[in-house]
Structure 1
Amino acid sequence: MKTTGENSNKNNPLTRQDWIDTARTMLIEEGVSSLSLRRIASRLGATTGAFYWLFSNLEDMLAGLRKDWETRNSAAFDAIFDHSKLDCYEKYIGYVRVVLKESGYDPKYDSAMRDWANSNELTREVLTRVDNKRISQLQTMFGEMGFNQRAARVRALMTYFHQSGYYWMGVEETLEERLANIPYYAEILIGSDFFSEDMTHNDLRNLILGEQAEHNA
């Protein structure tokens, strides 16, 4: 008979989120092959009894991991696109800020999920749903800028596929290089007048990253 919260530390029982957090770390660091009950339990120093007290089976936990990604890695984008007081241009700056600072968003988590989706239909379904939602958010934003439906759609796809491919291909650029490229991406996607011609690199840093010029000294 199982005891409540059976695990390696009976005074501090593991929770469902503990298992999901560990599975997330292992997925990102070691890939989909690490998602076995034995390996995750070993990382936690826990028993299978502790696992089955919280989950009906491995798939139950993997479903929780998919939900964790869908919620955790979309929250920062949702906060921007669902913000009623931000105009479309502020939303664009906010989107770029999240992507560059990787605050509230882990691109390695996205890449790990894409890898997992190649071999798992349920993961692929979740990934497709999230991809479609993010593209739709971008399309709506570009539509609010005045682009027609097709033009907004293409710009959304360009923005999203570029960013996803950037991480998937493992492109290595410094933050300064990425920041310096922003006005050129904006020129292609929105127009040459999005950023002022006299905007300095430090002005751009402050606008996108919220850091004062002296931080770049």
Structure 2
Amino acid sequence: MAMRRTEEGAGKGRGQHAGRRRLTARDWADAALAAMAERGLAAVAVEPLAARLGTTKGSFYWHFTNREALIEAALERWEEICTEEIITAVEAEPDPERRLRTLLRQATTSAADDPLEVSLLATAAHPQVAAVLGRVTERRIGYVAQLFEELGFPGPEARTRGLLAYSSYLGHTQLAHAVPQALPPAAESDAYLESVMDTLLRR
């Protein structure tokens, strides 16, 4: 996830102090997510993030009591952006099969370009990360299972297929970052993902 450049940081870089907007808790959370994507959870430290945002530690303590509170806010932001907003977007498609295919294609393609998910999985032992991964995993698998149910699969089978679909997504994501040459080339990626869905939908 690319961190947007804040007006405060831009103003400081030009030596302009008047009219700068005050950084929000969301700005800090987004900056923390960007740092996690680049260098893992250990990169979430107040002073480097303040420098990145072009502000001081005082801004941090205006919004958060400590580093753990910032990590919690960043993880909740990730949950919102990478799960809830995606589900809301695909819900605009009335056909459950097209919804399912669009979801798998878009989520897989996005995760392959964004190291954040892999970074979080690598720190799954951290209590705060473990908690959000548990919620997100259950939400994602549950939603995909719901789509399979809408397509006529019985509840237990829909759950199994939802788990298989999510396992495929995670496996593809891990390979994309660790061993990308194992995956089909970009020109064949869409066809490959469609074949995965064809297999998952086979009755």
Same fold, TM-score > 0.5, yes or no: yes
Q: 1:54 aligns with which of 63, 71, 84?
A: 63
Unaligned runs of at least 5 residues, structure 2: 1-7
CA RMSD of aligned residues (A): 2.6
Matches within 5 A, 1:61-210: 61-74=70-83, 75-80=85-90, 82-83=91-92, 86-102=94-110, 107-118=114-125, 120-169=126-175, 170=177, 171-172=179-180, 173=183, 174-191=185-202
Which residue identity lines up with residue 20 of structure 1 in the other structure?
A: A
Change beyond 3 A, Cα 1:106–1:76: farther
Size of the alignment, in residue pairs? 183
Greater RCO (Cα-Cα under 8 Å, separation 6 or more): 2
Shift of 1:101: 4.6
The 8 Å contact of residues 69 and 109 in structure 1, kept in 2 or not, is answered as no
Shift of 1:106: 6.5
Q: Distance in 1 between matches of 2:146 and 2:129?
A: 26
Which residue identity lines up with residue 165 of structure 2 in the other structure?
A: T
TM-score (norm 2): 0.78
TM-score (norm 1): 0.73
The 8 Å contact of residues 40 and 120 in structure 2, kept in 1 or not, is answered as no
Q: Distance in 2 between matches of 1:182 and 1:48?
A: 45
Change beyond 3 A, Cα 1:132–1:107: farther
Shift of 1:49: 1.7
Q: Distance in 1 between matches of 2:165 and 2:101?
A: 13
Change beyond 3 A, Cα 1:188–1:42: same
Structure with greater helix percent? 2
Matches within 5 A, 1:32-47: 32-47=41-56
| Farther-moved stretch of structure 1 (38-47 vs 156-165) | 38-47
> What SS does the corresponding residue of 1:102 show, helix, strand or coil?
helix
